[in-house]
Structure 1
Amino acid sequence: MKINWKVRLKNPYFIVQIILAIGAPLLAYYGLTAQDLTTWGSVFNLIWDALSNPYVLGLIFVSVFNALNDPVVEGLSDSEQALRYQKPKKRGLR
């Protein structure tokens, strides 16, 4: 599996997508909103509860997998073109 991590990590949309891929299943499973996480203790308790729950870990794994997978390329790798990028491609440019 070849993924151009260097370029993906430079793309703020990718970072937000991964954060949401982890956070959304957590909040949904435990019936919380972001407003419920008002202390670091509550955040760490939520993380510990999630790490102790195989079902929640499975939900997070599937969510992150969907965020990483490029559906227009066969398999789990980036396209050969995407692997050559040095920075995220601008929209509208070929």
Structure 2
Amino acid sequence: MINWKVRFKNPQFIIQLALSIIVPILAYAGLTAQDLTSWPILFEVIGGAFSNPYVLFLVAVSVYNAVIDNTTKGVSDTAQVMTYEKPREDGL
């Protein structure tokens, strides 16, 4: 199980998750963020990504890598982490 409530309270996790979706799409399209100069261009790139199984696979792998906690066995958070109501602030 993953403590989604706490993860989404952490801005670092939100940024990491957003980048894990956006970067593979832009890389496959051969674009950079500077190339997205209008909403129609952005929606066209995203629409193309959702119609391409290879890009969806790249996004899925990237999201998996952003979500998984490599310090624990399996894909779950530890029992201690599941008790958290907010991210730890001490950096430990």
Could you tell me the TM-score, scaled by structure 1's length?
Answer: 0.94
Moved over 4 A (4+): none
Partners in 1 of 2:70 and 2:52 — Cα distance?
A: 29
Deviations 1:35-94 (A, max 9, x none): 11111100110110000000000000000000000011111111111111000011345x
Partners in 1 of 2:85 and 2:41 — Cα distance?
A: 39
Q: Residue 78 of structure 2 corresponds to which residue in structure 1?
A: 79
Q: CA separation of 1:58/1:92 partners in 2, compared to 1, >3 Å: closer, same or farther?
A: closer
Partners in 2 of 1:92 and 1:37 — Cα distance?
A: 36
Q: How large is the RMSD of aligned CA atoms in angstroms?
A: 0.9
How far 1:10 moved relative to its partner?
0.4
Q: Residue 45 of structure 2 corresponds to which residue in structure 1?
A: 46
How many residue pairs match? The answer is: 92
Q: Residue 36 of structure 2 corresponds to which residue in structure 1?
A: 37
Partners in 2 of 1:75 and 1:31 — Cα distance?
A: 34
Could you tell me the TM-score, scaled by structure 2's length?
Answer: 0.96
Letter in 2 for 1:74: K
